[in-house]
Structure 1
Amino acid sequence: MASRPIVPVQARGEAAIGGGGAGKQQKKNGAAEGRNRKALGDIGNLVTVRGVEGKVQPHRPITRSFCAQLLANAQAAAAAENNKKQAVVNVNGAPSILDGPGAGKRAEPAVAAAKAAQKKVVKPKPKVEVIDLTSDSEKVVEAKKKQHHEPAQKEGEKSSRRNMPTLTSVLTARSKAACGLTNKPKEQIVDIDAGDAHNELAAFEYIEDIYTFYKEAENESLPRDYMSSQPEINEKMRAILVDWLIEIHNKFELMPETLYLTINIIDRFLSVKAVPRRELQLLGMGALFTASKYEEIWAPEVNDLVCIADRAYSHEQVLAMEKTILGKLEWTLTVPTHYVFLVRFIKASLGDRKLENMVYFLAELGVMNYATLTYCPSMVAASAVYAARLTLGLTPHWNDTLKLHTGFSESQLRDCAKLLVGYHGKAKENKLQVVYKKYSNPQRDGVALIPPAKALLCEGGGLSSSTSSSTSSSSS
C-alpha cells in the first residue's frame, strides 16, 4: 500500500513560505483574516460546559435534561477519539497524525471535558422565574436547537408559571361561587335529527336549511290586519267559519296540513278582497277544496262539499270560487303554515303523545281566533309548545334545545302563550265546541279536560284586553 503524504498543519494568520514581499503580503492578509473570523477547525467543536476554561459558557441555566445531553455528547466525543486512534495505522514508518507532536495537546481538552462532565453533579436548582431578554433571532435558534436536540419535557416538569392562577381567573371563580354557578351542570343541546340519519324521507342533510328558509318566507305570506277593510265580516263570523271547517276536516279525515293551509288561504284572500257575508261559507268551501287538492292524495269531490253545506251553493259556484282564490293569490300555495313549525317544535320538545295532543289543541284554538294573526306562524307554534309544557307541568318549561330550534326565548313567547292559555280557560263555556269536543276524546288523551296553566295568566295580572275581547266575542 502506498504511503499518504503528510501535509503539515499551517498555523492561523501565517503566510505560505515563498518569496520576499509576496510572502509578507500574504502573511499580513492571513493575520487580518485570523482576527476577523474563526478558524475552520474550531467550528462545531466547542463544548459548552460550565467551569471549563477557554470554552463558551451557556447563556441559560443548566437543567437536568441539558446536563445529561452534555454528558452524552462528551462520552460520544471520547469514544469517537479512541476509535480514530485505533483506526489510524502508520504506513512505511510515517508518523501518524495522532502520534505527531501536539496530538496530546489536541486530545487533552476533549478528555478533560469528558471527565469534568462525568464528575460534575448538578444539584437541582429551585424554580425561579427568569425574564428572557434575548432577541427574537436568538429565540428562534434556541427553539430549533431544543426541538432537535433536547428531549421532550415531562408533564410533571412544566413551568410553574403556567400553573399559577391569574387574577382574572381568581375573580371569575369567586363570582361564579357567589352566584351559585359553580356546581350547576351545563345544559347540553340534544341532536333531535340523529335518529333520522338513515331515513331518506326525513331530508336529514337539508332539514336545517329548509327551516331557515321557512323562517325567512313566513313573513312574506303573513296575512295583514284585514277586519277594518271588511264591511260585512267580523271576528265572530271568522271564528264560526273556522270552527265549521275543523268539523268538516275531521269528518273527511283529512291531513293536518290541509286544515292549516285552508285557514291560511282564507286569511290571505280576505286580506286582498272584500267578501260579502253570504259568500263567506262559499269562501271556506273553495279554500278547503283547493288545499285538499294540494295536500291530499284523494281530495274530496265537489259534490261532497255541496252536500255537506246542505246545498247552499251549487257545483258551479264552488268551482268559480276556487278559480277566484287562485287568481287573487297568484297560485301561491307553497307557504310555511303553522303545521310545519308545530311538527318541528314538538320534535324538539322531546315529549310524549300527551304533549303532542296538547300542543295541537292549543294551536287550533289559536288559529280559530283572529287575535293570533298578529303573530307569525312560528311564534304561535312555539308558544303552543311552551303553554303545553306549562299546562302539563313539565320542567324545564323552556330549554336550550327548544331555543335553538324555535329561535325564540321564553320571554318572547310569554304574551302569545297567555293568549292560548286564555282560550283554553274559556273553551268549555264557549259556544263553539268543536275543538273542545275533539280533544276531549280519550283517543286524544282528553287534553282539553286538563286545567289550564293559570300561573302564566297570574304572572301578567290576568287576561289581556285582546284576549278578553276576542273570547267574549266568540262566546256571544
Structure 2
Amino acid sequence: MASRPVVPQQIRGDEAIGGGKQGKGGAAVDARNRRALGDIGNLVTVRGIDAKANRPITRSFCAQMLANAQAAAKAENNKKQVPVSVDGAAPILDGEVVAVKKPGAPKAATKKVVSKPKAAVIEISPDSVEQDRGKEVKCGNKKKEGVSKKKAQTLTAVMTARSKAACGVTKKPKEQIIDIDAADVGNELAEVEYVEDIYKFYKEVENESRPHDYMDSQPEINTSMRAILVDWLVDVHNKFELSPETFYLTINIIDRFLARKAVPRRELQLLGIGAMLIASKYEEIWAPEVNDFVCLSDRAYTNEQILMMEKRILGKLEWTMTLPTPYVFLARFIKASKDSDHEMENLVYFLAELGIMHYNTSIMYSPSMIAASAVYAARCTLKKSPGWDETLKLHTGFTEPQLIDCAKHLVGFHGAASKNKLQVIYRKYSSSERGAVALLQPPKALLVVPPNGH
C-alpha cells in the first residue's frame, strides 16, 4: 500500500509546527489548526492571503511521486526526499521545490522542513487511485495533463469553427463596395477626380429642371399625342444616327416648353422638330440641317417656321440647356452594375425609352429614379443576382424598395410593348443590332400591366 509522509501545516503566527506542542505519534495538539485535505484543495493560506499552487497535489499525485522516485534509482543512487515549505506552501514541480516569498514578511519567516517517515501517515486506497487516475501526470515522460487538455480544447475550437463555416452558420462578411472608377484612373476624359462631385451636383439640381404636370393646362394636347410625337422622334433619331444624349435632351426640352406655354395640336410636331434641332446643335459634332427636318416632316413646315420655333423655345427656356437628363444617370448607373454587358446595356436603354415615352412615368419620377429603376428592372429581367447590391445603392442613392414602383411601370410597358400601337421603340430593340432585348420575357415578380397603356 502506497503511503507518504505528511508535514503538518504551520500555526498562524510564524511558528512552525515542529517547534510547537505535539502529542503522541507526532500529531498536533491543537486540532483547530488542522483541516481536511479535501477542504484544502490547491489553496494554501499565507498570512491571510490565498495563494494557488502551480499544480494540484492530490493523493494519486503523491503516490506517483513515490513510484517515480523508486523508478529513478538507475540515475540516482539515493532516494531524494521531497522538501516542503511549511508556511509558504511552495508548489512541487518535477521533484523540485519552488520557494514562495510571503508578501511583507522577512526572509527568515519561511522554513524548509524535511519530511520524516515518523510523521503521520495517510493511507491511499486502490479505489481512490482508480478515481484519480484520469488526473495523473506522467512526470518521467515530461507529459503534463494540463497542457494536453489545453491542446485538445484548441483543436476542438478550431474544428467547431470550421464546421460552422462549412454549414453557413457563421455571419457572412459585409459586402464590399467596388470602386467603379479604378479602371479609369489614367483616362483624362473620365474625370475620376471630379466624377463623384459632378453626380452629387446632378442629384441636387435635377428637380430644378423637372417639368411639372402640365397636361391639364394644354387644351388641345393629351398624353396619347405626346406618346405619338416621342415615338416619331425615336424614328428620326435613328435615321440621323444621333447620340443618346440628343434624344433625352430633346424630350426634356419638349416637356419644359409645354409646361410653360400652351401649344396647338398642329404645332406639336413643329415643337418636336425645333427641340431636336436645338438638342443636336448642343450635343452633336455634326448636327442635321434644317432642310433635313423639312424633308422628314414631308414639307409640313418651312425653314422659316422651324427657325422661328427654335427661337421661341430658346427664349421661353431662357437658353438653359445644361441640365441632368436620364441619360447622364444611365451611363453612371450601368457602370455601377459590375456584371453589366451589351445585353444589359441595351435592355436598360430600352426600358428607359419606354419610360420616357409614357407621360405619367416621365413626369412622376425624377431622371435619376427612372435610370436607377431601368437598371434594376433589367437586372431582374436577366436574373442577375443580387438584384441590387451595395455598390449600386451607393452610386444611385436609392434602395431596392424605393425602386419597386417605378420598376413595375417599366416592366409593365415592356410586357405590353409588342401589342402597343406605337411600335418604333419595340422594333428598334427587337433587332439583332440591339441584342433583341425587347423579345425577352419580363420578370413575373414585377410584371404589372399599366392602366390605359400611357
Structure 2 length-normalised TM: 0.63
What residue number does 2:423 align with? 433
Which of 350, 360, 374 matches 1:371?
360
- Displacement after TM superposition at 1:122 (Å): 7.2
Q: Sequence identity, in percent?
A: 70
Within 5 Å, give how 1:15-414 maps onto structure 2: 182-350=170-338, 351-372=340-361, 373-414=363-404
- Give the Cα separation in 1 of the matches to 2:438 and 2:418: 9
What's the RMSD between the two structures over aligned residues?
2.2
Q: Distance in 2 between matches of 1:238 and 1:275?
A: 12
User: 1:329 & 1:427 partners in 2: Cα distance?
Assistant: 33
One-letter code of the match for 1:245?
Answer: L
C-alpha displacement of 1:443: 1.2
Partner of 1:8: none
Paired AA for residue 429 in structure 2: Y
What is the Cα deviation at residue 123 of structure 1?
Answer: 5.8
Q: Name the counterpart of 1:66.
A: none
Which structure: greater strand fraction?
A: 2
- Report deviation, 1:247: 0.4
Distance 2:328 2:174 in 1: 30
Aligned in 2, Cα 1:395/1:316: closer, same or farther, shift over 3 Å?
same
What is the CA–CA distance in structure 1 between the aligned matches of 2:334 and 2:294, rounded to whole Å? 36
Between the aligned partners of 2:278 and 2:175, the Cα distance in structure 1 is 45
In the alignment, is residue 456 of structure 1 matched against residue 446 of structure 2? yes
5+ residue gaps, structure 1, are: 1-120, 126-176
Give distance in 2, aligned partners of 1:346 and 1:124. Answer: 75
The AA in structure 1 aligned to 2:197 is: D
| Aligned residue pairs, count | 295
Q: 1:312 to 1:122 in 2, by over 3 A?
A: farther
Deviation of 1:456 after TM superposition, in Å, equals 1.6
Query: Does 1:468 find its partner at 2:451?
Result: yes
SS at 1:402 equivalent: helix
Rounded to whole Å, the distance in 1 between the matches of 2:284 and 2:99 is 88
1:6 aligns with none
What amino acid is the match of 1:389?
A: R
* Distance in 2, Cα, partners of 1:123 & 1:297: 93
Higher helix share: 1
Q: Secondary structure of the residue that 2:298 maps to in structure 1? A: coil
For the structure 1 residues 124 and 301, does the alpha-carbon distance in structure 2 shift closer, same or farther, using more than 3 Å as the test? farther
Q: In 2, Cα distance between the equivalents of 1:182 and 1:214? A: 41
With over 3 angstroms needed to count, the CA separation of the structure-2 counterparts of 1:197 and 1:229, relative to structure 1, is same
Deviation at 1:182, TM superposition (A): 3.2
The structural deviation recorded for 1:454 is: 1.6
| SS class of match (2:323) | coil
Aligned equivalents of 2:446, 2:224: Cα separation in 1 = 26
Q: Which runs of 5+ in 2 are unaligned?
A: 1-97, 103-164
CA distance in structure 2 between the partners assigned to 1:454 and 1:223 by the alignment: 32
CA separation of 1:230 and 1:122: change in aligned 2, threshold 3 A:
farther
CA-to-aligned-CA distance 1:168-194 (integer Å, 9 cap, x gap) = xxxxxxxxx9xx873323211000000
Structure 2 matches for 1:410-421, cutoff 5 A? 410-421=400-411
Deviations 1:346-380 (A, max 9, x none): 00012111100000000000000001111000000
State the alpha-carbon separation in 2 of the partners of residues 295 and 367 from structure 1: 19
Q: What is the SS of the residue equivalent to 1:361?
A: helix
